[in-house]
Copies of this chain bind each other. A is one copy, B any other.
């Protein structure tokens, strides 16, 4: 008999079915044993006389095969239950697990959760976290594909950094030294000269020695870059629409749970305001008396700005545009003559989840910008050459997948949204 997914069992009322999955719950009463069986499609209650399963020594998280007859049962959420005919343990779980798939991982230490990743992903909340993450990935790619963006795959092994060589991981590459890519920045700019609109979803690497709740040495970046823009406002408009679509899909599928976990369903991102950097400093001074910020925001400032945006616009998010040029990478396009940059961050629920902006697109201005930063154009010869092959005015942005997932669900630590987080102290499992 072919195994069927649990979600299909309701189509077999009165008939025998073969199911496989995990023991998610187990309740042995005097006259009846109840087993909740779960597979990737759903879960169902199995009902059995105790004697029929007693000899198996079945326990939580065992991997089992069930033959049983489907019975209509109006008190069950799914509308049916299974009367056991035969159960078989395909692979038992160990007796010494530190928690089980009915546990609440938020009450367990992070290291224990990560060292038992498959088990923690079988718990309800963590399971949902990674389904939300997969849905974000799918919606990101789908929106962009509809809008003339082409997915590209670019190398993560590079001869140098995009910003001059700090925080790079070094690797042995046959007879030479190479580095892990910090960003697909250069490649996606080349991609504009190739395909006009490109996106890439992939890992980036930062040899970031600090272990904070927001930083990883390896994270997954949702990158896009597009040609023929007049300024960063077009990028901001695109990101508003992109996130509005992603959030609408997430609200449809996970809305109730997002509300419970994060405090609110996801907002309509088309209402996100854009505030100039200087304006942000002024607002922080007025509302919170802050006078300490000069050329960048800090985590507290990011939270405060989201609070202000929520109050004024009903959305806990704000695009901060026009950061000081001096603090941005060499390829950043200036915004007017006052030392501001055509670059922006998106703050969402108190955390920066995007950096983006318009880039320089003429070789000569790039050379000048490099020299101004004390770097040598010769060290970027291969990259600069690409600006002579037909390079449109362009810009783009990147969203950190783990951060976005964490903010959507109200998770305190980005590691909770990372299957196998990497930081200074952790390279396993």
A interface vs B, CB < 8 Å? 3, 5, 20-22, 39-41, 61-63, 90-91, 93-94, 97, 101, 115-119, 121-122, 127, 130-131, 133-134, 137-138, 141, 145, 148, 150-159, 169-174, 176, 178, 180, 186-187, 190-197, 202-203, 205, 207, 209, 217-218, 220, 227-228, 361-362, 382-383, 385-393, 401, 418-422, 424, 427-429
In the bound complex, what is the Cα–Cα distance between A169 and B173 (angstroms)? 7
Asked if residues A116 and B196 are in contact (CB atoms below 8 Å), the reply is no
- Given the complex, which residues of B lie within 8 Å of A127, measured CB to CB? 194-195
Min distance, Cβ A224 to any Cβ of chain B, angstroms = 13
**A361 proximity list for chain B (CB < 8 A):** 91
- Cβ contact within 8 Å between B158 and A427: yes
Contact B390 A176 (CB under 8 A): no
List 18 other contacts, CB 8 Å, given A117-B194, A174-B207.
Answer: A40-B196, A41-B148, A91-B362, A91-B387, A91-B390, A93-B388, A117-B386, A119-B193, A122-B193, A153-B401, A153-B418, A155-B421, A170-B172, A171-B171, A171-B172, A186-B429, A187-B420, A202-B202
Instruction: With CB as the reference atom, state the residue of chain B lying closest to A23.
Output: B390
Contacts A121-B194, A121-B195, A122-B194 given; does A63 touch B391 at CB 8 Å: yes
Which residue, A21, A178, A389, has most C-beta atoms of chain B within 10 A? A389
Query: B138 contacts A389, CB within 8 Å?
Result: no
Cα–Cα distance between A190 and B138 once the two chains are bound (Å):
22
Q: Is the pair A157, B218 in contact by a Cβ cutoff of 8 Å?
A: yes
In the assembled complex, which residues on chain B have CB atoms less than 8 Å from the CB atom of A392? 20, 63, 90-91
Check B133 against A153 for contact (C-beta < 8 Å): yes
CB distance from A349 to the nearest CB of B (A): 21
Which residues of the partner chain B approach A217 to less than 8 Å between Cβ atoms?
157, 173
**How far apart are the CA atoms of A205 and B178 in the complex, in Å?**
13
Q: Do A39 and B196 contact each other (CB < 8 Å), given the known contacts A20-B228, A90-B392, A424-B174?
A: yes
Which residues from B are CB-within-8-Å of A170?
171-172
Taken together, the copies of this chain in the complex come to: 2
Which 9 A-B pairs have CB atoms at the shortest separation, nearest pair first? A121-B194, A118-B193, A40-B196, A94-B388, A171-B171, A118-B194, A61-B390, A155-B420, A134-B151
- Which residues of chain B are within 8 angstroms of A388 by Cβ–Cβ distance? 93-94, 97
Nearest CB in chain B: distance from A333 CB, A = 13
Greatest chain B CB density within 10 A among A153, A207, A391 is at: A153
What is the bound-complex CA distance between A3 and B228, given in angstroms? 9
Distance between A365 CB and nearest chain B CB, rounded to angstroms: 11
Chain B contacts of A3 at CB under 8 A?
A: 228
**Complex contact B116–A389 (CB within 8 A):** yes
Decide if A151 touches B172 in the complex (CB within 8 Å): no
Decide: A429 and B382 in contact? CB cutoff 8 A.
yes
The interface residues of chain B lying within 8 Å CB-to-CB of A151 are 133-134, 137-138
Within the complex, the shortest CB–CB distance from A180 to chain B, in Å, comes to 7
Whether B390 lies near A190 (C-beta < 8 A) is no
24 examples of A-B residue contacts, CB within 8 angstroms = A20-B228, A21-B228, A39-B228, A40-B150, A61-B389, A63-B390, A90-B228, A90-B393, A97-B388, A116-B389, A118-B389, A118-B390, A119-B389, A130-B195, A137-B153, A153-B419, A155-B421, A156-B156, A157-B205, A159-B427, A173-B427, A176-B427, A187-B419, A202-B203
Tell me if A134 and B150 are in contact (CB < 8 A): yes
Tell me the minimal C-beta distance from A59 to chain B in angstroms. 10
Residues of B within 8 Å of A418, CB to CB, are 153
Q: Are B152 and A383 in contact (CB under 8 A)?
A: no
Pairwise interchain contact B382-A115, C-beta atoms closer than 8 A: yes
A155 shortest CB reach to chain B, Å: 4
CB distance from A190 to the nearest CB of B (A): 5
CA distance A201 to B158 in the complex (A): 20
Complex CA distance for A209 and B196, rounded to whole angstroms: 35
Instruction: State the CA gap A134–B158 with chains docked (Å).
Output: 23
